[in-house]
């Protein structure tokens, strides 16, 4: 049998392999093989002493599997079967605890309660945890008290001071030590640092940087213009410093607006309604700024809002004169006498200076100079007679300028509508001619007559027709007024013949229905024509130079035929 005695790994000890068959005469040879044989361990083949020939490190290799055998030195015959044995390397505390993840960064909200966990640190020790205390680590704090503490066993870092305030101090460096051997004297130690940042909570109220803001804005500033900026400062940061502003009171509530700028910090005051220095030169606004993210934990001790006063002065701007109306509409009869005052306009300088105003007409708006605007009084009058039938509207532009500053000028439009006066007589529709067939009998309608009148009475035209007095008892034709602005011309006899008479002239008196009544006499030409059996005209007086409006196509052909005949004869 083989026996083995272990040695302490740190010493260059000699341990012995010994067979009970060894009689000490040197006839036995010990052989060592397996892991580390010849490199880490050697054996004295005569004595069986085993030496470690290399430094052993449990943390590199904790055990070796070796085989040993005793043989006859002469015959090299094995004296007994090979036996296996394990060399276990015994641990010593040669490794200090280490923080593989250090240095650490952590954060904890300010104002956290004592005992709030910040971070857990873990140190590792390479020594054998199953043997002795070489790997038993205890944590302690070297730096960072009294703000933080560390749990000796678990390595959890905790808050150890109440009401730590980020606004007072934000960053802390904590140094933690891990010591093995259960923290006992002689243990090995390793340290790490933890950078702890206090996170913000909303524990500070906003405060306006001014109790009273003075701002000013020109009265001409358009709606939307920025008047100024206010700021309720907050010692907190991020969302805890974000603000929302509102105008809660003051006589400028309806005239100005407030909004928060894109950073959510500043209040921007803008113009909401047009300003007018002359009617109100200053405004007061009571503005409130409030945090948008409230922390319920501090609701009872932090007022999350503040108030300030903003005083806005409106600056006077030299403005052009202002007409008493932006546009004027006037109606004027066309027979108005020259020099009639159409309308008197007024423009006033709205500025405090109240400069004198001068009036004029914009030339291109009255190219034919129908009107004149009295330069000091603003009286618009006619200087030419008007004619509705020629120009029905005069749309002119009038100007008002400050006498001592011609750049301050403004304009207004005046629409003059010319009203109708019955100043035109009616007359027969142009080119109206009539014809009578030779075959026509008494009482036959030969023409319907209509009239035209350039006037435009509001109630429409009402023409009346009659034959002129000299034709009143005409034995040849009669006129019948249809009372609908038309009249009929009828024959009074039969037996018409071109041989007797080719053309008759019939004076017709036409009156309109307006006051003063306008009357005219138009002469209707009636030609005698030969007609076919349907009453279509075949031929009329050859000297007719204008064609009756009501000629049929047949009549036209007949007339053309006559012309050819005439041409043929004259050749």
> Interface with ligand NAG by CB under 6 A: which residues?
393, 395, 415, 474-476, 500-501, 504
- 284, two tokens: 């007061």
Show the tokens assigned to 145: 């008290």
Neighbouring C-alpha atoms within 13 Å toward the C-beta of 93: 20
Least distance (Å) from ligand NAG to the CB of residue 380? 15
> How many whole angstroms separate alpha carbon 571 and alpha carbon 565?
10
* Closest by Cα among 331, 323, 341 to 394: 331
Give whichever of 211 and 369 is closer to ligand NAG, judged by the CB atom.
369
Q: Which is nearer to ligand NAG, 364 or 407 (CB)?
A: 364
Of 283 and 496, the one with the shorter C-beta distance to ligand NAG is 496
User: Can you give the length of the chain in residues?
Assistant: 571
Distance CA 306, CA 204 (A): 12
Q: How far is the CB of 318 from ligand NAG (least distance, A)?
A: 31
Place of tokens 């005569």: 46
Measuring CA to CA, how many Å separate 241 from each of 35, 259, 262, 552? 69, 16, 13, 97
Among residues 107 and 413, whose Cβ is nearest to ligand NAG? 413
Taking the least distance from each CB to ligand NAG, the nearer of 299 and 493 is 493
In SS3 terms, 399-410 reads as EEEECCEEEEEE
Distance in Å, CB of 453 to ligand NAG, minimum: 23
Question: If residue 521 lies in a helix (H) or strand (E), which one and from where to where?
Answer: strand 519-531
Residues 6+ apart with CB under 8 A from 256: 227, 247, 269, 270, 271, 272, 283, 285, 312
Q: Which is nearer to ligand NAG, 157 or 436 (CB)?
A: 436
Shortest Cβ 281–ligand NAG spacing (Å)? 37
State the minimum distance, in angstroms, from the CB of residue 378 to ligand NAG.
20
- Count of other CB atoms within 10 angstroms of residue 463: 21
| Least Å from the CB of residue 444 to ligand NAG | 15
- In angstroms, what is the minimal distance from the CB of 394 to ligand NAG? 8
In the bound state with ligand NAG, the residue whose beta carbon lies nearer, of 360 and 476, is 476
The DSSP call for residue 550 is T
Angle at 495 between CA 492 and CA 500, to 5 degrees: 105
User: Least distance from C-beta 523 to ligand NAG, angstroms?
Assistant: 12
Q: Which C-beta is closer to ligand NAG: that of 372 or that of 504?
A: 504
* Gap between the Cα atoms of 304 and 292, Å rounded: 9
């Amino acid at each position: 049998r083989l026996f083995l005695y272990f040695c302490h790994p740190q010493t260059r000890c000699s341990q012995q392999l010994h067979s009970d068959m060894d009689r000490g005469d040197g006839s036995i040879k010990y052989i060592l093989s397996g892991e580390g044989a010849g490199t880490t361990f050697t054996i004295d083949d005569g004595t069986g002493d085993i030496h470690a020939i290399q430094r052993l490190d449990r943390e590199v290799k904790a055990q070796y599997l070796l085989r040993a055998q005793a043989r006859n030195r002469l015959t090299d015959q094995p004296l007994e079967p090979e036996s296996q044995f394990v060399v276990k390397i015994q641990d010593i505390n040669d490794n200090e605890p280490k923080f593989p993840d250090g240095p650490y960064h952590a954060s904890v909200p300010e104002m956290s309660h004592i005992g709030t966990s910040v971070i857990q640190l873990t140190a590792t020790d390479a020594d054998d945890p199953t043997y002795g205390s070489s790997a038993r680590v205890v944590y302690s704090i070297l730096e960072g008290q009294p703000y933080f503490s560390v749990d000796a066993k678990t390595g959890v870092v905790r808050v150890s001071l109440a009401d730590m305030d980020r606004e007072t101090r934000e960053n802390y460096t904590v140094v933690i030590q891990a010591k093995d051997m259960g923290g006992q004297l002689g243990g090995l130690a390793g340290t790490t640092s933890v950078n702890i940042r206090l996170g913000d909570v909303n524990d500070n109220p906003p405060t306006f940087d001014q109790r009273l803001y003075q701002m000013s804005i020109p009265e001409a500033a358009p709606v939307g213009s920025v008047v100024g900026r206010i700021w309720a400062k907050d010692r907190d940061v991020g969302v805890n410093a974000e603000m929302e502003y509102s105008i809660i009171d003051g006589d400028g509530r309806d005239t100005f607006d407030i909004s928060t700028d894109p950073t959510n910090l500043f209040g921007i005051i803008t113009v909401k309604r047009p300003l007018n220095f002359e009617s109100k030169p200053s405004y007061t606004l009571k503005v409130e700024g409030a945090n948008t993210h409230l922390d319920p934990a501090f609701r009872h001790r932090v007022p999350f809002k503040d108030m300030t006063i903003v005083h806005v002065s409106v600056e006077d701007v030299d403005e052009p004169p202002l007409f008493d109306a932006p546009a004027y509409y006037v109606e004027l009869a066309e027979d108005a006498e020259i020099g009639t005052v159409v309308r008197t306009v007024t423009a006033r300088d709205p500025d405090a200076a109240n400069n004198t105003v001068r009036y004029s007409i914009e030339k291109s708006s009255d190219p034919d100079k129908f009107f004149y605007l009295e330069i000091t009084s603003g009286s618009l009058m006619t200087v030419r007679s008007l004619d509705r039938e020629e120009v029905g509207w005069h749309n002119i532009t009038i100007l008002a300028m400050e006498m001592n500053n011609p750049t301050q000028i403004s304009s207004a439009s005046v629409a003059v509508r010319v009203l109708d006066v019955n100043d035109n007589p009616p007359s027969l529709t142009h080119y109206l001619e009539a014809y009578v067939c030779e075959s026509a009998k008494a009482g036959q309608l030969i023409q319907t007559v209509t009239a035209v009148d350039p006037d435009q009475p509001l109630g429409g035209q009402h023409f009346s027709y009659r034959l002129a007095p000299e034709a009143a008892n005409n034995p040849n034709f009669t006129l019948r007024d249809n009372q609908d602005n038309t009249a009929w011309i009828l024959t009074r006899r039969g037996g018409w013949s071109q041989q007797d008479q080719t053309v008759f002239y019939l004076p017709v008196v036409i009156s309109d229905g307006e006051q003063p009544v306008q009357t005219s006499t138009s002469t209707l030409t009636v030609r005698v024509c030969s007609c076919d059996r349907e009453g279509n005209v075949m031929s009329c007086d050859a000297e007719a130079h204008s064609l009756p409006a009501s000629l049929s196509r047949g009549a036209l052909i007949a007339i053309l035929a006559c012309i050819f005949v005439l041409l043929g004869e004259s050749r």
